[in-house]
Structure 1
């Protein structure tokens, strides 16, 4: 795991503040809704649905949506002739709390595979790891209740050590413990080999460049591919 991901907290929080205030989130919600509707508009499309549900990392902040890892996953799937279509439901500034509310709307459409990428903004804000855990558990539980056969992948995240070793350790444990208790698949660290690498991130030091998303795609694919191959 690349520990260079941990950049000075004051810089991270400054960037977060510019990226996720309530006004920005309200403006972006409509854009996300329009994007999702566009991706699901083909009523005759019989392919199974993979929903990527996350924050700005999933949304591809600073890039075209075609450069974000969900779109790159779709290209990989298409090249292999697999019957799946990917929907990018990333929303910049999303926390697990707001995600727990938004998932209700997202579950109104059929979903076969749910990739949950949330928690990074919680960590940067110093939200209690137990609160983050509770919200992620609720999202998982809602998805399973709505679609008992759904397959879920949980993308792990870490926080800077500036938050303190106890907080960082508690946060790190959330993802593997939830994956184990819920019997869902785990991506140990979404930004493996990308976080903290200046050449692979935008000037804010947080969001991957197009090249960074190529590496994130490979990280996600390692966990997703076996799920696609399961009956």
Structure 2
């Protein structure tokens, strides 16, 4: 009887330990999104941006994920690089999504600087134990063929070097659509709320396999 009781107590302790481990793992499933106005719902009703839509989709995901949107309108890769260390300490994410670079291009900043900042961010996130996803952007041809090509390509270069997941172009099917104008706000820079479900799908195609990493 004593042996049976001891075995039972051991089983209960093992189950309790397993439950604690599972709870801890669930707490660590955090996706930190560091982006600019495309992720910060600029000009949109609250809750209609792609990050909010992602959070709603993941709410039904088993196991569940917490989404932290640390995006700031107007932010550049330099801004993201300076903010990221504190965010990693504060939130301890298992996954980090980096959606930055568009404002670098709008300001005509050197491509080498943008690439270096993205590289540093990816390395910092990986050093903190998080899986990394880069969300690529493109600029119109009027920026010059060489600049447009090299800007679009730098996201892939960083992703390959740092073994990060890559969304080639967040605005695929929107900015390059034949009816692109209807998908943008009057400033012709920021997508409308109707465009954000498509933006989510562009991310989700890559994210489904990426969530197992980290």
Identify unmatched segments of 5+ residues in structure 2. Answer: 1-25
Q: In structure 1, what is the equivalent of residue 99 of structure 2?
A: 117
Q: In structure 1, what is the equivalent of residue 85 of structure 2?
A: 104
Give the TM-score, by structure 2 length.
0.82
* Structure number with bigger Rg: 2
Question: Which of 156, 176, 181 is 2:136 aligned to?
Answer: 156
For the aligned residue pairs, the C-alpha RMSD in angstroms reads 1.6
Residues 1:167 and 2:138 aligned together: no
d(CA) in 2 for partners of 1:107 and 1:60?
Answer: 22
Contact 2:174 2:195 in 1 (8 A): yes
3-state SS of 2:206 partner: helix
- Displacement of 1:64: 2.9
3-state SS of 2:30 partner: strand
Cα 1:68/1:211, change in 2 over 3 Å: same
- Displacement of 1:81: 3.4
Cα 1:202/1:94, change in 2 over 3 Å: same
Identify unmatched segments of 5+ residues in structure 1. Answer: 1-44
Question: Which of 62, 83, 92 is 1:81 aligned to?
Answer: 62
Aligned length: 185
Give the TM-score, by structure 1 length.
0.76
Cα 1:229/1:141, change in 2 over 3 Å: closer
d(CA) in 1 for partners of 2:149 and 2:183?
Answer: 26
Cα 1:144/1:229, change in 2 over 3 Å: closer
Report which structure shows greater RCO (CA 8 Å, sep ≥6).
Answer: 1
Contact 1:52 1:90 in 2 (8 A): yes
Question: Which of 46, 49, 56 is 2:30 aligned to?
Answer: 49
